[in-house]
Every structure is written in C-alpha cells, then in structure tokens.
Structure 1
Amino acid sequence: MIDVLVVDDDFMVARIHRGFVERVDGFRVVGAASTGEEALAAVDRLRPDLVLLDLYLPDMFGLDVVTRMRAAGHDCDILVISAAREADAVRRAVRYGAVNYLLKPFGFDELRTRLEQYANRRDTLRATVVSDQADVDRVLSRVRNPPGAAALPRGLSPESAELVEHALRDAAGTLSAAECAGRVGMSRVSARRYLEHFADTGRAEVTLKYGAAGRPERRYCWRG
C-alpha cells in the first residue's frame, strides 16, 4: 500500500480528496493536515510515501513545507494540488521534485490517473537494478513517459511540456505560440515545438486566424 497524507486548509476539500484517494487501489490515506506546521508534524509522525500538498496554506507557502521536509531528512514524494496557476509556481514545484501538479478543482478520474502513473513509476524505480548506462537510460525513459503517455520527441523535456500543457488548460480561449511563450517563460520557437507536438498527438486542436496580409496565425487549445 502507498500511504498518503492529504494537506489542505479547507476541511471539506480535504475530505473530498481523501475520499478520492481511498477509491484508488493500492492507496490509503494515513492522515490529513490543514497548515504547514501540521503537515510537517504529520510527516514526521506518519512517514507517508506521498503527500498531496496544497500550496496556499494559512501559515506558509506549500513549497516552503517541502524545503523544511527535505531539511529534516524526509524523502516522501509530493503531488501538488493547488489553484495556483502562475507559471512560476509550476516551475518551482518541478524544481522541488513534485511528481505531478494538479489544478483545482478536479474530478476523481483526473486524480486517479495521476496516482496510477505515480504508482507505476514508483514500482519501476523500486524494481530496477542498474548495471550500466543503458539501464539508467531505460529507467529514465519509463519514468518520463509512463504507459499511456505519448513519448516526447528528442529535445523536448517533460517539465517544459507540463508547463505548456498547463498554459493551454488555463487559457480561456486559444493561444498562439507567442502568447504561450510569454506565459511559461520560454522562447516562441520552443513553445511552438511543444504546441505542435500536442497537436500531432491529438491533445491540442489547431485553428487558423487570418489577418489582412501574410500567413495565417496558428492558434491552439487543449482538447482535454
């Protein structure tokens, strides 16, 4: 069983998330916390495998909780569940080692998919014996591209792909490559490569916007 700690300042939301987790085979909730300090104490006491961590806590920012957890020697994994849509928050979560970042509000199926992906990656890492570089490369390939996920072309990173995906999901309408680049903090050319990858794999839809002259502008939206 994978032990989970749910951290959210809203009691009702925490209860809903707890119910979601307990519906997924192989997972169980061992505790809940509503503040950063409570989360740190619970991690120290319960030693969970995974923390579902809200970022907007009443006493500290969620990623500061991660910093203090690591300083205390705790290596539990972090799945961020937050309404924070700022690109900087997503980038920091990636840098801090979050296994995923799920935007509120979300349904059971969205969380279940990410928990199952996490369980698969965890099992892969625990069962792997590394004897040479080829073994390392195979492990990283399976972790970055779990079963059911479209493999990224050479030169594209999972972390940047996640940033672009969040930008598309959050957009009220369509985004151009330049608009997406501005939101996630990368070049227009790089953003275009990720957007075209999502379009090629059926996860984004492309429409053309015609102006007075020149080539039509390609605009993208997430297909869900």
Structure 2
Amino acid sequence: MYQTVIVEDDPTISLLHRTFLARDNRFTLARAFPNGYEALEWLRHHTADLIILDVYMPRMTGLDLLRALRAEGIGIDAIMVTAANDSKTVDALLKLGVTDYLVKPFAASRFQQALDTFCQHRETVSHDSVSQQELDALFPSSPASPSAVPPPAAPSVPKGLQARTLDRIRECLRQASRQGATCETIAERSGFSTVTVRRYLTYLVEQGEAVSHVNYDTGGRPCMLYHPLSPLSPLS
C-alpha cells in the first residue's frame, strides 16, 4: 500500500481527502498535518510515497514545502489540491514535478483520477526499462513524431492497468498447477503486491482468460483459486 501524507489547513477539506483516500485500498494514510512546517519536520525522519498538498497554509506554504523537500533530496510524489490557480504558482509547482494538480472545488471522480495517475506512474517505473508505449501513456499530450513508424497495434488495456504488468501476471498464471494458484502465490512469483495482482486477476476473469473458485479444502479459512483458460492454457 502507498503511504500517504495529507497537508491541508482546512479541517473539512482534510477530512474529505481522508474519506476519498479510504475508498481506495491501494493507499493508507500515514499522517495528516495542518501546515507545511510540521509536515517537513515529520518527513525528514519518515518515508512516504505520496503527499496530497495545499498551497495556501500558515507557517509554510505548500510551494515552500515542496521546494524544501526537493532541496533536501526527499523523494515523494505530490498531488496538489488547492485554490491556487495563478499561472506563476502553477508553473512553479509543475517544474517541481507534481503528479497532478486539482483546483478546488473538485469532484470525487477527479480526485480518484489523480490517484489512478499516481499508481500508473509508479507501476510503469517499477520495471527495469520503460517502453515508448508506456511513456506515451504517462504523457498523453505528447504529439507523435510525424516521421515515426506507428508501432503494431497492441491489445487494449483498461485505464489503470499496465500491459507489462498484465503480461507478467498472465505468465505467472500459466505456471499454475492443476489445482490453481492463489492471489498470494502469484504475487510472490510476480513481485507485485497482492492488491495489484487481485485487480489484474479480476480483469482476466472478466475477459474469460481465467476462472476462479473458492477452495474450502484448506483446513482453515477458505481461499480463492485462479486457473488459466484459453488463450493462456487449457485446464486439461
């Protein structure tokens, strides 16, 4: 799970962030702070993956906090959620590498989109190398080179899923025994988290590439077993 820090001086907005965050089981709240100064002191001694950050706050603004984090080499991704939409502030924050920028007021769906974008970035750069296709997905506004030869069409993958991650989980599923494999087993083989593997396995089941059933013969708590189907491999 991605450890997340919220920095927001408005208690109502901070609670809203927590509520939206709690709906996504890929994230867990590490700490929440009412100003950038307290957040900076904490982040100097603790690690986190993502910071959801306001700009206008007492003691230290979100812009100053992000500048301080970058200056001290504290690597944390940031999603800005703020009323600050003047071009100077937006430009400064974009140059500091924020993952997404939401202007208040915002819809729950837009907040979720920002979380999905962050996860897409993280999954893409978790590999040893990144393909041009994956880079284009990260930078959808990048124009294609007019002289470039278009790559062969690849099977479409739903938003929020990565083709390379899906292929890896397919491969692990092919290696499943006749008894099938649990989500935890495939997670161990693939190197991805159980939460990530479960999302991809659910997709494969929905696409008819795999089947799942509950195994009650564990001697304890029942577990879900997954089996590959064509085009992965037959169950014969």
TM-score scaled by structure 2? 0.57
Correspondence 1:120 to 2:120: yes
Name the CA distance, whole Å, in 2 between partners of 1:113 and 1:67.
25
Percent identity for Structure 1 against Structure 2: 29
Secondary structure of 1:106's partner?
coil
Among 135, 138, 146, the alignment partner of 1:143 is 138
Return the offset for 1:38: 0.7
Name the CA distance, whole Å, in 2 between partners of 1:136 and 1:41.
37
Correspondence 1:76 to 2:76: yes
1:4 is aligned to 4
Do the aligned partners of 1:55 and 1:62 also contact (CA within 8 Å) in 2?
Answer: yes
Name the CA distance, whole Å, in 2 between partners of 1:139 and 1:116.
15
Correspondence 1:153 to 2:143: yes
Can you give the 5+ residue segments of structure 1 that lack an aligned partner in the other structure? 146-150, 156-224
Q: Equivalent residues in 2 for 1:8-47 (5 A)?
A: 8-47=8-47
Secondary structure of 1:46's partner?
coil
Name the CA distance, whole Å, in 2 between partners of 1:126 and 1:100.
19
Do the aligned partners of 2:22 and 2:28 also contact (CA within 8 Å) in 1?
Answer: yes
1:92 is aligned to 92
Name the CA distance, whole Å, in 2 between partners of 1:43 and 1:120.
24
Root-mean-square deviation (CA, aligned residues, Å) is 1.8
Return the offset for 1:139: 4.2
Aligned residue type for 2:64: D
> Stretches of 4+ moved more than 4 A in 1?
none
Secondary structure of 1:67's partner?
helix
Return the offset for 1:12: 2.0
Q: Equivalent residues in 2 for 1:159-178 (5 A)?
A: none
Name the CA distance, whole Å, in 2 between partners of 1:61 and 1:67.
10
1:215 is aligned to none
Q: Per-residue CA shift, 1:161-186, capped at 9, x if unaligned?
A: xxxxxxxxxxxxxxxxxxxxxxxxxx
Return the offset for 1:46: 3.3
Can you give the 5+ residue segments of structure 2 that lack an aligned partner in the other structure? 146-236
1:168 is aligned to none
